[in-house]
């Protein structure tokens, strides 16, 4: 048992020594400049490509008109409530929005009051 521990200890020492020796070698100037060029390329790509694309996408989404809500039609197979929801009045879903989500009897708000 002690021989095994001794061998593991020696292997650990030699492995660590090899790693430390490789770290002590001076870094090559060529390698550093290559990394600097690559970092500079990705920095410029982010600044001149990614940021304008994100700005255009944001502008595109914000400028569009919002769609009108569909007209309420009382179908017999939609909005069936056999059991109350365990929150609120039991008739509204958890993420209910009075303008977009209809109740079994229709929308809560009229179209004109929602436009402000």
Does residue 58 fall inside a structural domain? yes
Question: Distance (Å, rounded) from C-alpha 31 to C-alpha 27?
Answer: 7
59 lies in the same domain as 100: no
pLDDT in tens, 46-102: 999 999 999 999 999 889 787 788 888 988 888 888 888 898 888 888 998 888 888
Does residue 116 fall inside a structural domain? no
Could you tell me the pTM of the whole model? 0.41
77 lies in the same domain as 57: no
As for how many domains the chain has, the answer is 2
Q: Residue 6 is part of which domain span?
A: 2-63
41 lies in the same domain as 84: no
Does residue 23 fall inside a structural domain? yes
59 lies in the same domain as 75: no
Does residue 90 fall inside a structural domain? yes
């Amino acid at each position: 048992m002690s021989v095994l521990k001794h061998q593991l200890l020696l292997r650990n020492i030699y492995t660590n020594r090899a790693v430390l020796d490789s770290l002590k070698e001076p870094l090559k100037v060529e390698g550093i400049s290559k990394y600097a060029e690559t970092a500079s390329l990705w920095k410029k790509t982010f600044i001149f490509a990614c940021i304008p694309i994100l700005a255009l996408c944001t502008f595109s989404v914000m400028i569009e008109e919002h769609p009108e809500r569909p007209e309420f039609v009382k179908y017999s197979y939609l909005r069936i409530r056999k059991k109350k929801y365990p929150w609120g009045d039991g008739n509204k879903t958890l993420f209910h929005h009075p303008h977009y989500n209809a109740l079994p009897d229709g929308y809560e708000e009229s179209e004109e009051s929602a436009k402000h």
